């Protein structure tokens, strides 16, 4: 059968379009095809495959079920280039230097080499406490006054002067929320020398209810060392 040139060119164009569509579909299928489990695989993404592999010495940026991959091991408490052991915290000084230190709730739990149970991050509101060397001006957490060189263990106050706790070593000078321990039982007005459940004597502000105490609470104390009537003062 003879066909004219215009018909011939039309047929060639149609056939070319069919081949192009077939090739496109094959490429699409190949690019979306995955492994046996149906997951998408990018053969060129070696970095992604390594990151998805477990943390190990040969894959120091791998996955950990808990913590962060650090130097090829899964670390729950990374601290700069170190991994802190269980029961330790990452502490940071005012210069930004980080190191691992044993956690604590009172200075009596700390070794002689680091006798102060102080804030894990220096200069910040304490959210964690760790055994640290004694530094001037640093609060050391306590339970009783015998843990403190001053003999006074009293509530930590916030930036507004509210006794929000915990108990820390304070000066024994009769000032607001400082100690009134031993022979010193006088407190500056309007504070009263009260005794808490641990036997700590400190100067506290009398209250009727917690609305008098800002961020602190109105709690019961012993008022046996003062002329104040009590029985409540701002504390935590």
90 phi, psi to nearest 5 deg: -90, 115
Average pLDDT, the chain: 83
Please tell me the distance from the alpha carbon of residue 171 to that of residue 193, in angstroms, as a whole number. 14
Please tell me the distance from the alpha carbon of residue 90 to that of residue 103, in angstroms, as a whole number. 9
pTM (2 decimals)? 0.69
**Helix, strand or coil, per DSSP, at residue 51:** helix
CA dihedral 137, 141, 143, 144 (to 10 degrees): -20
Contact in structure between 89 and 126 (CB atoms under 8 Å): no
The count of other CB atoms within 10 Å of the CB of residue 144 is 15
DSSP 167: E
Read off the pLDDT band of 32 (50, 70, 90).
very low
- Among 110, 129, 109, smallest CA distance to 119 is for 129
Tokens read off for 164: 């929000």
Inform me whether the pLDDT recorded for 30 exceeds 90. no
**Helix, strand or coil, per DSSP, at residue 49:** helix
Inform me whether the pLDDT recorded for 38 exceeds 50. no
Q: Is it true that the peptide bond before 166 is cis, omega within 30 degrees of 0?
A: yes
Please report the sign of the dihedral spanned by the C-alpha atoms of residue 223, residue 229, residue 232, residue 235. Answer: negative
Tokens read off for 199: 């036997």
Please tell me the distance from the alpha carbon of residue 84 to that of residue 102, in angstroms, as a whole number. 9
Model confidence over 148-180: pLDDT tens digits?
999 999 999 999 999 999 999 999 999 999 999
Please tell me the distance from the alpha carbon of residue 89 to that of residue 79, in angstroms, as a whole number. 8
The string of DSSP letters for 163-174 reads EEEEEEEE-SSS
Residue extents of the structural domains in the chain: 87-135, 142-236
17 phi, psi to nearest 5 deg: -65, -35
81 phi, psi to nearest 5 deg: -95, 5
Averaged pLDDT, 82-94: 88
Q: What percent of the chain has pLDDT over 70?
A: 77
Q: Is it true that the peptide bond before 42 is cis, omega within 30 degrees of 0?
A: no
Model confidence over 133-143: pLDDT tens digits?
988 888 999 99
């Amino acid at each position: 059968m003879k066909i004219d040139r215009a018909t011939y060119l039309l047929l060639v164009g149609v056939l070319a379009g069919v081949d192009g569509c077939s090739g496109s579909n094959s490429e699409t299928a190949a690019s979306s095809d995955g492994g046996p489990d149906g997951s998408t695989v990018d053969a060129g993404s070696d970095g992604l495959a390594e990151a998805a592999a477990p943390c190990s010495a040969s894959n120091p940026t791998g996955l950990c079920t808990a913590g962060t991959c650090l130097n090829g091991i899964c670390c729950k408490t990374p601290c700069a280039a170190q991994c802190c052991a269980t029961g330790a915290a990452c502490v940071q000084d005012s210069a930004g230097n980080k190191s691992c230190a044993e956690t604590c709730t009172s200075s009596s739990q700390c070794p002689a080499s680091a006798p102060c149970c102080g804030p894990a991050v220096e200069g910040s509101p304490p959210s964690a406490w760790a055994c640290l060397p004694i530094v001037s001006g640093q609060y050391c957490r306590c339970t009783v006054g015998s843990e403190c060189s001053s003999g006074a263990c009293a509530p930590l106050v916030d930036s507004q002067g509210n006794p929000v706790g915990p108990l820390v070593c304070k000066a024994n000078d009769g000032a607001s929320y400082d100690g009134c321990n031993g022979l010193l039982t006088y407190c500056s007005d309007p504070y009263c020398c009260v005794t808490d459940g641990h036997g700590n004597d400190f100067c506290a502000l009398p209250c009727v209810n917690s609305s008098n105490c800002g961020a602190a609470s109105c709690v019961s104390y012993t008022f046996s060392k003062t002329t104040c009537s009590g029985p409540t003062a701002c504390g935590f």
